[in-house]
Amino acid sequence: MSKEYEKAKELGLTNLERWEEGVDHHPKSKELMSFIAEHDFNDYNDYFCWKVGGDGDNGETLMYMMDAYFELKDKEQDE
């Protein structure tokens, strides 16, 4: 396991029920997802066909994963 994943797991960031608890996405997750989706659509022939905004969409799931990472990085900066 990567040290980042281990730390995020230790802090409980990977286990949150983000959708169920109504936790907003991290701003950096939204920004990166927007870029990735547009880049994929325009330059990779929509290879991943990213979808955002509905329950279970692949883009929403990716953002929840990115949320844990960016929240970890925020916590590390606060230390």
Q: Are 52 and 62 in contact (CB under 8 A)?
A: no
Find the domain containing 35 and state its range. 3-78
Q: Are 33 and 66 in contact (CB under 8 A)?
A: yes
pLDDT single digits (tens) 2-35: 999 999 999 999 999 998 898 899 999 999 999 9
Domain count, the chain: 1
Q: Which residues contact 62 (CB under 8 A, 6 or more apart)?
A: 33, 36, 50
Helix 3-10 × helix 58-78 angle, to 10°: 90
Place of tokens 């936790």: 23
- The structure tokens listed for 68 are 């844990």
pLDDT single digits (tens) 56-69: 899 999 999 999 99
Indicate the pTM of the whole model.
Answer: 0.91
